Structure formats: C-alpha cells, structure tokens
A and B are shown apart, each in its own frame.
Chain A
Amino acid sequence: MHKRMVFTLALLLTASVALAGDSYAIKAAGYLKPDGSIEKDITLLVIDGKIGAIGQDVSVPNGVAVVERNDQMIGPGLVDVHTTLGTNGRNFEQANSIEAGARAKELFDPDHHDFKEAAAAGITTVIIAPASTHLIGGRTVVVKTGGPREERMMGEGPLKLSLTQEAFNMRRTPTSLTGGLYNLRQMIAAAEKNKNDQSAFARWARGETHALVEVGTPEGVSTLAQFAEEQGLKCVALYANQAAERLDDAKSLGQPIVLGTYEFSDPRRYTRNPNILAANDIPFALTSSAPRYQSALMRVGAAMVMKQGAPRSAVAASLTTVPAEIAGVAKRVGSLTPGKDADFILYDGDPLDLRSRMRAVFIGGERVYVSETLASHDGSKEGGKS
C-alpha cells in the first residue's frame, strides 16, 4: 500500500513536469556521461525542448520549475540504427534490386504503434531502412519515436545497401554478387564523372558520405572491405556479428560496425565480438532490428555484451553516440550535452543496469512514456496514463 502511494505521488510529480511547459529542471541522482561514467547529484535544465545545462553546478533560472528525482538517474535517449518501424513489413520493392532513388521517408506510418513500443524501450531516435533484399535498398530516414508529429522527422540518413545472399535471386538482375558488384562499379564510375550529381548514391560513390551495408557473415565483411578499398568508399558494416573473425578487414573499413540483435540464447562466438572490437578501438553500435525483434533487446544486448567483458564506455557509446554518428544526427542527439535535444530517460538506477526500470522517457523535453508498475496488474493502473 505504501509503495503504491509513493508511486502515485511520483506520477503526479512527473505529470506536473510535462505540464510545466517549455522549461523545467530535474534534480537527479546522476546521469550517464558519453564515456559511460556516471556523474552524481546533478541537475538537468531543459529549455524549449533542448538541454540547457547539465551537471552538478547548474543554476536554475527563476520561474523554472524544479522536479526532485533524487532516487533516479538520467540517461540519454537510445539511438537505433537499423529498424523497419512503422512499415508493416512492406519496406521493399520486388521488381528491382537496385533502388538507389528509393526513400524510406515515404515508407513509414508516423502514427504506427511500433513507435510507441520503441519509445517505451527508451529508443528515441531510429533509422528506418529499406529491406535487405536489395543490392541498393535506397535512402534511410532518421526519425524520433515520439514528440510532436511534425518535428519527428530529423532528416534523411545514409544509403542502405546489402551484399547478403538475400539481396540476390533469380527473379531479377543482378542475380549474383559478382553481377551486383559489376553494376556498382559502373554506377560509381558514372557518379565520379558527374560531379554535379548530388544524389545520396553519387555522394557515397565519391566517398563524401558513408552508407549502411548489410553484410551478415564474416565473408561479407571481407568482401565489403575489399570493395570499399578498391573504390575508396565509406561503409558501415551492418549485422557484422562475427566481425572480430575478420579483424583486419573490419579495421580497414575505418567505420563503426553495427551488431545485433543479441538474445540470451546467443552463443559466445557472437557475444564476444564487441569485446574484441573494443579492444582494437573499432567503435560499434548495437541495433534491435525492431520490429522483427523487440526494441527492448537493445538494452539487453548491451548488458550481455558488458557481461562478456566489453568496457562500459564502449557499451554506452554503442547505444547512443556511435549510432547517432552513423545516423548523421550526432549534433542533435546521442548524449546529454547542452544544446542537444532533450531526449532522455529517467531510470531508477544505473541506466546500463538491467535491474533499473525506465520510469519515463522524454523526447524533445516532452514525456512520451511513463512506466506502469508491473506488479499493479490488479487494476491500479490509473496512474499509467496522464
């Protein structure tokens, strides 16, 4: 009974934060810094949906409401670099394998319930990507999972390609990897000739931007490294879960590696990879591949990876700064730095600890999720919605 009262009280307080409008400050037990460490007893100042200041000595301007959350910790909103949220699985075009002009921004339904689930798992920014069944799937889009509808779209993300076997079949050309790479070479040569072409593909072809390239197997990492080297491309290897078995090649890519999705049943051959990548200073990002897998698995994966010995700093980065970098939105999200969007999560403990429950998730300073106490399944859910 006592517990429930406290809980309701907490909810009321949280609700008041949202009502307070443009600016507020939260006093918390600590926050997760980009390097994975925790700074204790801090104040977070949110001004107009942005982070105004954060730290131990933050002076709260007059008239700004201060919320006491001395038992909770703040972590940045998580960034997921490869999802197909809101697409209902209809994210690929069957006819052609090369869809350099396709755009994922035309693909998703912003009101889809997938986004709510992602937000509830603390994922505030996602890349929505075309399917992996194409050599060139098209351009990805970076969106927030909550907040005002018109502000969710953050911009277009990197191009998505795939060199997996999935990308090739006998129903369309190219039917093979060898044919696919021939086509890519031709297209890259054309793009290099035409410097005026500012399409996503052309810019990637000229080495100006990076692209997400799904590789899957360790062989894929090698193929990609060989091709990227030959053509001078920047490629982020996607789902390179055994990248550490091709360490030279992973290194030669010079870009972060995307790993995912981890589950408790995964053998150590996969889960030890981040550990080795970190030891070799290759940054990596984790992804949930939602909605194919649960969004919540992103945090679980991080905990598993840490349990296998990956350093805290690299694990923290893999959920936030590295994916933000890949998505090209590092200036806006990925860490709790003044000036960035106020995308953050209130935990009742260390954000990287699986024991900690997410109490509330904020996007652009606005609360988009508040946790229900699971134990209160007997009907006392009244506090759940505000």
Chain B
Amino acid sequence: MNQRRLHRSATMALMLSAAIAVFVSAAQAQTVLLENGKIIPVNGEPIEKGSVLIKNGRIEAVGASVDAPFDAKVIDCEGKVIFPGMIDAHTWRGLDVPNESPGVTPFLNVYDAIDPSQLFFEDSLRDGVLSIHVSPGNNTIIDGLTRVVHPIGLTPEQMTTAPDVAMKLSVTPKTGYDRMRQMAEFREAFRKLDEEMAQLAEKKYEDKLREDEKDLTVPPEEAREKGKELIEPKDIPDKNRNLLMLSQGKLRNFVYCGAAMDVPAAIRTAKQYGFFDQSVFVLGSETFKAIDALKDAGRPVVLDGNLVHTEADALTGEEEETFVPKVIDDAGLKFALQRQWGSTLGERYLWYQAARCVREGISRDHALKSITLWPAEMLGLGDRLGSLEKGKDANVLVLSGDPLKMTTWVELGFVQGEKVYDKAEDIRLNRLFAAPEDELGPSTAPVSQPVEEGHTEVHQGEYEEPETDQ
C-alpha cells in the first residue's frame, strides 16, 4: 500500500512540477518596480496611482512616485490593483493526515506532514493566498507545532516563511472523547509536566551535590526549588520542551473551541496553565454566543469558514441565522477569516469571505485586514507580512481589479520578491477557459485516484467537506 501511495505521489509531483516549473523558472530575486497601479496597502489609505519597489525580497518603497534603480524590472500595472498577499490564518490542509491519534503530542511538528505536492497549495497561489498557517487539525487535545508557509517550493524548507509559530490545542473533544475526558486529559498533561519538571529539578540538585561530593541536607521541596536554576535547556526532555514553553507563556498557541460552551473552558484552561497571553482562539460558528466571554478575554480569534451560524429555535423550530463576523467585529475583537472548503465555489476564496463581511455591514477596512494584517499579527509576523510597507516581505499581488470584486483575478504573485505566479502561464486556468477544439487531451478535473478501502486519504476528499472537524 505504501508503495502504491508513493507511486501516486510521484505521479502527482510530476504533474505539478510541470506547473511549478513555470513559476520557479520565472522566479529570480530581482529588483522589480510595479508602477502605475492602484495600491491598497491595507495599513493606510489607498494610493490611486502609485508604485511599489521590490528589492532583495523586501518591499523597498511604496508611494505615488518611487525612485527606482536603473536596473529595476518595471511592470506596468495600469488599471490594476496592488495588494499584499493574503494570509490563511489557520488550516490543516496541505498536510498529510492532520492529527496524530493520541491526543497529547506536544512534541510533534507539522513540518513532517507538509505535502508540497498537494493541489491545495497550487490553488492557494492562484487565489492570492501567499502565506498559509499550516496547523494540526482540531481533532486533538494538545497537538504539535505549526508553521507558516508560502504555497511555492518543492520541499517544506523551501516553502517555510516562519517555522514553529505556535502550538495547536483543542478544548472541543476529539473523536472518541467526551468533554469531561478531554478536560481530564488537559489537567493530567499539565500536572504531569509539573511533576516531571519538579523531579528533574530535584535530580539536578542531587546530581550537583553528587558531583561536589556533598550530602543532601534539605527536604525535597527545597531541593526542587534549588534545582530549578540548575536546569539547562538540554536537560529538558524533548517531549516536554514545547509544553514547558507553552506553560511558561513563551509559545504562541491556537486553541480550538468548537462550541460556545468551550470558550469559557478554553479561557479558563489558558489562564490556569499560563498560556493565555499568547492565545488565539479558533472558533466554531456557534461560539458567537459566548461573545461576552470572548470580549472580556480580548484575544484575537480565527473564525470558522462557515461565517453564518444557522440554528433552529429549540422552542419554535424557526431557523435563525447569525452572521458571526459581525458579532465579533461589533465586540471590537480582531479576527481572521478562514476559507471554507465544502462549497463548490465561493467561500474557498479568502477575498470572497472578506466581501461577505462587507456585504453584512463590516467596514471594508476591517474586512481587508481580516485576511491580511490581522492574521499576520496573530501569527507574530506583523512586522513581516500583511501589508504593503517598507521593510516587509515582498509578498505582493497584482490584481486585475478591486480585491473584493467578483470579476477580479490574481494576475501576478510575488513571494519574498520572487514572481511565483502569472495568470497567463497558469496551465489549469488556461485549460478551464480553453476553446472546445483546444481540448482533446486530459480532463480538467484533478487527478482522480482509485479509492482504497478503509484508507483515509486527504487527497481524496480534498475538495469535499471533511466529515468531521479535523
């Protein structure tokens, strides 16, 4: 089975490399001047006609007129819009299997599961999502470290924008667990950490005495206290390192709350175990009911791709719809939007999600920030990504029109100064718009694979609604 899978991946990689080759060959770190375009920098007022200078992988200048060096490659963006690369604040897509089966695995790293050959990355690029926060799924208790990648590159290294960005946790029960068990596991994980660290401290102290050939003269508590200072980073077992950092508030963390009742639990847990100040809450659609608690917490949130919560009234059976981002926005919280993968079209685009927010009365400014600057800040990359500012990574899009317009396509994409996408050279898109006589060869559908019994494949249902929250 493994071999078959390998073979398949190889075919896939081959197919894709054809597409990627185009991008890679065009990608050379050079000085580029995007001129005469409408600039939407996100962090400030739009510039109706201006230029963006990209140099050494960073944005060198943004303004109505920019002095460009003589060797800059000039791209005329007349009638086009220059926009920062969009950011997907949280997804398990792009991974092989998104969750390890044991619930508490803080020592894992998403790096090992990133599959660069997935169509997901190609689509993200086409849709203008240039930074993707790849995280373990929601079906966990304490899962591993996450990573921010850009959707271009043949290996996870090449794709990495920032490694080990955050830890993924979930207070919503994982498969086979109920809420009580989930929380019991949480308590147990941190209790064990404390105990093991205390034991380590005691051992360190005793070891030191042993080395100095001294006798032990203090009771255990004191020994532990004294031993604490003796612990060096190398002493901490791998399995505990991340959890320790988390409990010391040194690690950013994304906590999944699937239902409203999970929000207070998440806040309580985060505060109790000391990682609240670094928390970002990943919310299910029903959680807007806990808006008071969320507002008090004041932490940024990542919203469910299904922006509308529909619920039948328990008493009358009438269905009620709530547009969740509006509730969150009204509470003054910073939020990031996720893409929704179940739909045929639409919610799969981040810009479309933002457009829905505008439609429901959220300001355009906030809507645009929710797919660029805010997620960047949540990821601790606010100084590198999310807006068109001098010194930031040159993750820049050239769009055919306003980002929230239905008829707008991504025309060019730059990641860290390299041109990685050009619509004119997008093989799949060209095929989807080909005249009938052009198309006699392969179908336009993604390569469909034979279904293997009982073997869950992420590729298989890649564009299907996941059965459970992963």
Do A and B touch directly, given a CB cutoff of 8 Å in the complex? yes
Q: Is the CB of B314 within 8 A of A267?
A: yes
Q: Is there an interface contact between B314 and A218, defined as CB atoms closer than 8 Å?
A: no
Q: Mask for B287-326, Cβ within 8 A of A = 1, else 0?
A: 0000000000000000000000000001111000000000
Closest chain A residue to B313, Cβ basis: A269
- Contact between B314 and A245, CB atoms less than 8 A apart: no
Report the bound CA distance from A333 to B317 in whole Å.
37
CB distance from A242 to the nearest CB of B (A): 7
Report B305-357 residues with CB < 8 Å from chain A CB.
Answer: 314-317
Question: What's the nearest-Cβ distance from chain A to residue B14, in Å?
Answer: 46
A245 touches B317 (CB 8 A): yes
| Cβ distance B134 to chain A, nearest Cβ, rounded Å | 42
In the complex, per-residue mask of A255-276: 1 if CB is within 8 Å of any chain B CB, else 0: 0000000000001110010000
Contact B315 A242 (CB under 8 A): no
Say whether A268 contacts B315, CB under 8 Å: yes
Q: Which residues of B contact A267 (CB under 8 A)?
A: 314
> What residues on A are CB-neighbors of B314 within 8 Å?
267-269
B55 → chain A closest CB, angstroms: 65
Chain B residues with Cβ below 8 Å from A218 are 317
Q: How far is the CB of A308 from chain B (nearest CB, A)?
A: 11
- Which of under 10, 10 to 19, 20 to 34, or 35 or more describes the interface residues of A? under 10
Chain B residues lying within 8 Å of A269, measured Cβ to Cβ, are 314-317
Residue of B nearest to A244 (CB): B316
The answer for the CA separation of A356 and B317 in the assembled complex, in Å, is 35
B312 to chain A, nearest CB (A): 9
Interface set, chain A 219-268, CB cutoff 8 A to B: 242, 245, 267-268
Q: Which residues in A have their C-beta under 8 angstroms from that of B315?
A: 268-269, 272
List residues of chain B with CB within 8 A of the CB of A242.
317
A269 to B317, CA, bound (A): 8
Bound together, the chains give a CA A242 to CA B316 distance in angstroms of 9
Distance in angstroms between the alpha carbons of A237 and B314 in the assembled complex: 23
Task: List residues of chain B with CB within 8 A of the CB of A272.
Answer: 315
Write the chain B residue with the least CB distance to A276: B316
Nearest CB of A to B317, in Å:
5
User: What's the Cα separation between A245 and B315 when bound, in Å?
Assistant: 10
Q: How far is the CA of A272 from the CA of B317 in the complex (A)?
A: 12
Q: What residues of B have a CB within 8 angstroms of the CB of A268 in the complex?
A: 314-315
How distant is the Cα of A218 from the Cα of B317 in the complex, in angstroms? Answer: 10
* Residues of chain B with a CB closer than 8 A to A245's CB: 316-317
| Inter-chain contacts of B317 with A (CB < 8 A) | 218, 242, 245, 269
What is the minimal beta-carbon distance from B159 to any residue of chain A, in angstroms?
50
Tell me how far the C-beta of B318 lies from the nearest C-beta in chain A, rounded to whole angstroms.
8
* CA distance in complex: A268, B316 (Å): 9
- Measured between C-beta atoms, what is the minimum distance from A93 to chain B in Å? 35
Cα distance A245–B316 in the bound complex, in angstroms? 7
A140 to B316, CA, bound (A): 33
A2 to B314, CA, bound (A): 51
What separation, in Å, do the CA atoms of A218 and B315 have in the docked complex? 14
A-side contacts of B316, CB under 8 Å? 245, 269
Give the docked Cα–Cα distance between A245 and B314 (Å). 12
CA distance A272 to B316 in the complex (A): 9
For chain A, residues 17 to 48, give those with C-beta under 8 angstroms from any C-beta of chain B: none
Chain A min CB distance to B355 (Å): 35
State in angstroms the CA–CA spacing of A64 and B208 once bound together.
Answer: 108
User: How far, in whole Å, are A267 and B316 apart by their CA atoms in the complex?
Assistant: 11
Nearest-neighbour CB distance to chain B for A173, whole angstroms, equals: 33
Residue in A242, A268, A269, A272 whose Cβ sees the most chain B Cβ within 10 Å: A269
A59 to B176, CA, bound (A): 73
Give CA–CA (A268, B313) in the complex, Å: 11
Complex CA distance for A218 and B319, rounded to whole angstroms? 14
Q: How far is the CA of A267 from the CA of B315 in the complex (A)?
A: 8
Within 8 A of A (CB), among B262-299: none
Complex Cα distance, B314 from A242, in Å, reads: 12
* A269 to B314 alpha-carbon distance, docked (Å): 7
What is the CB-to-nearest-CB distance from A280 to chain B, in angstroms, rounded to a whole number? 15
* C-alpha spacing A218/B312, complex, angstroms: 14
Within 8 A of B (CB), among A87-130: none
Shortest distance from the beta carbon of B105 to any chain A beta carbon, whole Å:
40
CA distance A242 to B317 in the complex (A): 9
Closest A residue to B318 by CB, please name it. A245
| Distance, CA A242 to CA B315, complexed state (A) | 11
CB distance from A263 to the nearest CB of B (A): 17
* Chain B residue with Cβ nearest A268: B315
Produce 1/0 per residue, B364-397, CB < 8 A to A: 0000000000000000000000000000000000
The complex places the Cα of A218 from the Cα of B316 at a distance, in Å, of 12
Shortest CB distance B313–A (Å) = 8
Shortest distance from the beta carbon of A359 to any chain B beta carbon, whole Å: 39
Question: Chain A's nearest CB lies how many Å from the CB of B316?
Answer: 7
CA distance A255 to B314 in the complex (A): 27
With both beta carbons as reference points, the residue of chain B lying nearest to A269 in the complex is identified as B315
How distant is the Cα of A56 from the Cα of B322 in the complex, in angstroms? 61
Residue of B nearest to A272 (CB): B315
Assembly CA distance A272 to B314 (angstroms):
12
Q: Would you give the shortest CB distance from B62 to chain A, in whole angstroms?
A: 58
Q: B328 to chain A: closest CB distance in Å?
A: 29
Known contacts A218-B317, A245-B316, A267-B314; 9 additional CB pairs below 8 A are: A242-B317, A245-B317, A268-B314, A268-B315, A269-B314, A269-B315, A269-B316, A269-B317, A272-B315
Chain A to chain B contacts (Cβ below 8 Å), 8 pairs = A218-B317, A267-B314, A268-B314, A268-B315, A269-B315, A269-B316, A269-B317, A272-B315
* 6 closest Cβ pairs, A-B complex: A245-B317, A269-B315, A268-B315, A269-B314, A269-B317, A242-B317
